[in-house]
Chains A and B, each alone.
Chain A
Amino acid sequence: GIQVEQSPPDLILQEGANSTLRCNFSDSVNNLQWFHQNPWGQLINLFYIPSGTKQNGRLSATTVATERYSLLYISSSQTTDSGVYFCAVGDRGSTLGRLYFGRGTQLTVWP
């Protein structure tokens, strides 16, 4: 299966700071999603972004499929942004529901 690497593994910020999370993947993909996992384990879908750029409030994401990476930007971070951010991809032989996840970036935002 596809290998997914996320960096950095841990990130500690003060409220109001900006951050960039990176996801590298090892092969062509037909699906790329970013998730936020809260402290209670709930995975929330942030973006479906196999290519291009999308924005949703303080969050935005860019995927450069030809170079096999995606970036998640968080601006003006808040304490509620804390949690683990996962990048997950689907390869061309898989159905939609089969995703390969990275190990995540643990984000901690201090007041």
Chain B
Amino acid sequence: DAGVTQSPTHLIKTRGQQVTLRCSPKSGHDTVSWYQQALGQGPQFIFQYYEEEERQRGNFPDRFSGHQFPNYSSELNVNALLLGDSALYLCASNHRVLGIEKLFFGSGTQLSVL
């Protein structure tokens, strides 16, 4: 049973560029949440997708957008990258209907913006 998988593992971009990060949830999970973790900080909630719609959103600008596909996988897009967007981006999944309470996280994508 595969866990949550994310790609790529590392990425280097320059200011102003756009980036797309990908996530496949744990088997049987239909809800995907994205988090940003800056160095030395706890993860911060970006947004959550369920049934291909954004359900909740944290305090992040519109430069951060996402998508969920029919197979429940998800993408996080960040436009007009800033130096401050450098962070570990984490994807988490859970099963909304069955009410599985634990979140399962992927290993993350380390994004560096130069």
Q: Which residues of A contact B (CB under 8 A)?
A: 4, 31, 33, 35, 40-45, 48, 86, 88, 94-104
Contacts and interface: CB of A to CB of B under 8 A. Distances in A.
Contacts of A43: 43, 90, 92, 105
Given A43-B90, A103-B41, A33 B33 contact: no
Contact of A98 (B42, B58, B90, B99): B58
Given A95-B31, A97-B32, 6 more contacts: A4-B42, A43-B92, A43-B105, A88-B42, A97-B31, A102-B42
Nearest to B48: A97
B96 A96 contact: yes
A97 B92 contact: yes
Nearest to B40: A103
Interface in B34-86: 40-45, 48, 50, 55-56, 58
B42 A41 contact: no
A96 B44 contact: no
B88 interface: yes
A20 to B, nearest CB: 19
A57 B87 CA distance: 33
A101 B43 contact: yes
B24 interface: no
With most chain A CB atoms within 10 A of its CB, the pick from B55, B90, B105 is B105
Given A101-B44, A103-B41, A103-B42, A95 B105 contact: no
A48 B101 CA distance: 7
20 contacts: A33-B101, A41-B90, A41-B110, A43-B43, A43-B105, A45-B102, A86-B43, A88-B42, A95-B31, A95-B50, A96-B96, A96-B103, A97-B31, A97-B45, A97-B92, A97-B103, A100-B45, A101-B43, A103-B40, A103-B41
Contacts of B108: 41-42
A45 B41 contact: no
A31 B96 CA distance: 14
B100 to A, nearest CB: 8
